[in-house]
Structure 1
Amino acid sequence: MTNAYDALTLMFDGEGGQEYLGERVSMAQHMLQTGRAAREAGAPTALVVAAVLHDVGHFSGAISGRDLMSGNDNHHDDVAAEWLSTWFAPEVTEPVRLHVAAKRYLCATEPAYYDKLSDASKFTMAVQGGSMNAGEIAAFAAEPYSEAACQLRRFDDLGKDPDASVVTLADFRADIEALDRTL
């Protein structure tokens, strides 16, 4: 079995160079910047790794990120969490699984949050179900990793700067390998 870092390197070096859903950074740049934001905020290692990997569900599959921008929800959060569970425990996979719900939750519970989203994030949020209703808010808040998912979502918002200094997957290798259950 391939370890997580080697599998991720292939993805980041390949599909990772593609545009990121209407943003001015590539998919890899977005995820790496998100990981850097988590690390700089002093997040636990599992959340840093989740931040780096949160959008791997856009990389491939029957429905791609381009489909999301065309108005079809690709459920990349579920796809990513499932794929990552090969190597990682729920401390990594659950914030990834919940990061789209966290965006919807934050928009419902913090009205000013929506205004901070990029235009692309506003569009995808509408495709992904829009702001949560009261029942969805309660269900999300009861999830064991909801707080981590909200933190991840806030880091996600910081990972879209085309002028940011370069960060690489190698910068996160030790963290990824430390949490890879197959090593």
Structure 2
Amino acid sequence: MSLRQAQKANPDGDIVDHLITIFAERGGEHYGEGVSQTEHALQSAIHVDQQNCSDALVCAALLHDVGHLLHEEDIYHAEQGIDAIHEQVGADFLEEYFGPEVSEPVRMHVDAKRYLCAVEPGYFDLLSEASVLSLKLQGGVMGEEEVKDFEASPHLEAALLLRRADEAAKVPGLKTPGVETFADRLRGLLKRA
């Protein structure tokens, strides 16, 4: 069941409950790395949290790949030569419920990889095989004009912190708390009607 289907089945339900449900239902899937989607999400959030970042950035880290989980089909499209634009899908969905402090780092985390490969010597060498494969599909290393445009974003630093957490969050077997431990933080960031 997709997140949208879960919402239709329980329209009075809390979006945070729906997010927890979709992680429970689809988060065990792998995406070309040695960890599941849920393991990767939790490791990303913990990594950011350990740097004393805002709750918004911790939650963005937790949800940065939710776009993969919103797709009905197999989540690892890169092996098939397809860029599923999960960052856009996820950010568009999240901005319905959360502010830009959550949605924009999610939207920018793929371009942050492209950016860091362009401006930071040695960053490309840190990428996993799956990340190198997806980089090619996502537009490759940024050019000069793209770098300038990217640097103009007010969410630049948050996106870069999230990107670094993304790369670090691929440790098989690392113990983390469950997704539900972030529920109160997520609820605290929801847009209020």
Bin of the TM-score, shorter chain as denominator length:
over 0.9
Query: Cα distance, 1:56 vs. partner?
Result: 0.3
Match of 1:101 in 2: 111
Match of 1:120 in 2: 130
Report the TM-score when normalising by structure 2.
Answer: 0.89
When the two chains are superposed, the root-mean-square deviation of aligned CA atoms in Å is 1.5
Kept in 2: contact 1:63–1:74 (CA 8 A): no
One-letter amino acid of the structure 2 residue matched with residue 106 of structure 1? L
Q: Which digits, 9 at most, give the CA deviation of each residue in 1:47-75, with x for residues without a partner?
A: 00000000000013367532233211111
Q: Which digits, 9 at most, give the CA deviation of each residue in 1:14-48, with x for residues without a partner?
A: 011111x2111110110111000000111111100
How far apart, CA to CA, are the structure 1 residues paired with 2:173 and 2:24? 20
**Residue 68 and residue 182 in structure 1: after superposition, are their counterparts in 2 closer, same or farther (change >3 A)?**
farther
Are residues 1:136 and 2:136 paired? no
Q: Which digits, 9 at most, give the CA deviation of each residue in 1:77-135, with x for residues without a partner?
A: 01000111121000100000000000000000002111111111111111111100001
One-letter amino acid of the structure 2 residue matched with residue 17 of structure 1? G
Kept in 1: contact 2:70–2:90 (CA 8 A): no
Gaps of 5+ in 1: none
Gaps of 5+ in 2: 1-11
How far apart, CA to CA, are the structure 1 residues paired with 2:134 and 2:127? 10
Report the TM-score when normalising by structure 1.
Answer: 0.94
State the structure with more CA Rg: 2
How far apart, CA to CA, are the structure 2 residues paired with 1:137 and 1:78? 19
The aligned length equals 182
One-letter amino acid of the structure 2 residue matched with residue 36 of structure 1? I
How far apart, CA to CA, are the structure 2 residues paired with 1:30 and 1:129? 23
